[in-house]
A = this chain, B = another copy of it.
């Protein structure tokens, strides 16, 4: 059922999160030091039985130069430098299998699917932390510097950097896309990497966190409430940290155009939180709503729309 206010009201929603004073410096430093850490990009071809797509197991230096895995998929037939998309995935999923997510390379785009550190089964370590099925939302949350999503946002920016450096990729024609957690990462990379041409965020997570943590019982937002219900004194600390990763704050620094999508029955990332990010977006912005969908939002219809946007903004592959 509908979990939030009518669309007319959603269009006016503003988050109560405020941009920390050192927000720009925090991210500038984070990104700069990740870039300064250097490190190499390594590519290993993967034989997974595909004929029209080359799949590479890619490793690139992410936060603090730590190795991050990704799938790089390229159309086997390629001549001119390709337009390219960095794709981010949902909470807990990691980069998936080598044979997943073939849409963008089949459409002629170079595609990098980042393995979210510590999540899923893709082999990217969050150093010091083991593999886990959940709990990422509170990892290191007591300081912005140690917060898990600081590292992941840096990984996301560096994924853009890595893709731009791949032979056969046109570094001027790069977009970012993702759903749920992947939508938040697309926003982060779209705002922080510089020069990204389009941001596609389906039901983005990590938006309007001061409200999000209290208006739903569903995981993963609930991880915050579960933590603060046990460690009551941490609330100001946690809220202070979250302000650095909240997409509503990143949105105020946006210059690229963005396309959002929201399901009006979404009780995982409620539509009012998605609208809060959209409404704060400083660049050109678009949003589509799906009245009878939950966290799946527009599903493949969103993907088809994304393909149209990418072809228009990046040029046909």
Contact = CB atoms under 8 A, between A and B. Distances in A.
Interface string A105-127: 11110000000000011000001
A102 B100 contact: no
A229 interface: yes
A108 B53 CA distance: 10
B99 A307 contact: yes
A199 to B, nearest CB: 19
Contacts of A98: 304
Contacts of A298: 232
Interface residues of A, number: 80
Nearest to A234: B131
Contacts of A128: 127-129
Nearest to A93: B230
Interface of A: 1-2, 48-53, 75-77, 92-94, 96-100, 102-103, 105-108, 120-121, 127-135, 138-142, 146-148, 213-217, 223-235, 264-265, 290-294, 296, 298-301, 303-304, 307-308, 311, 317
B138 A232 contact: no
Contact of A134 (B50, B76, B226): B226
Contacts of A224: 292
A224 B96 CA distance: 19
20 contacts: A1-B215, A1-B217, A52-B76, A99-B300, A99-B304, A99-B307, A129-B139, A129-B140, A130-B141, A131-B141, A131-B227, A133-B229, A133-B230, A213-B292, A214-B291, A224-B292, A225-B265, A225-B292, A228-B291, A232-B299
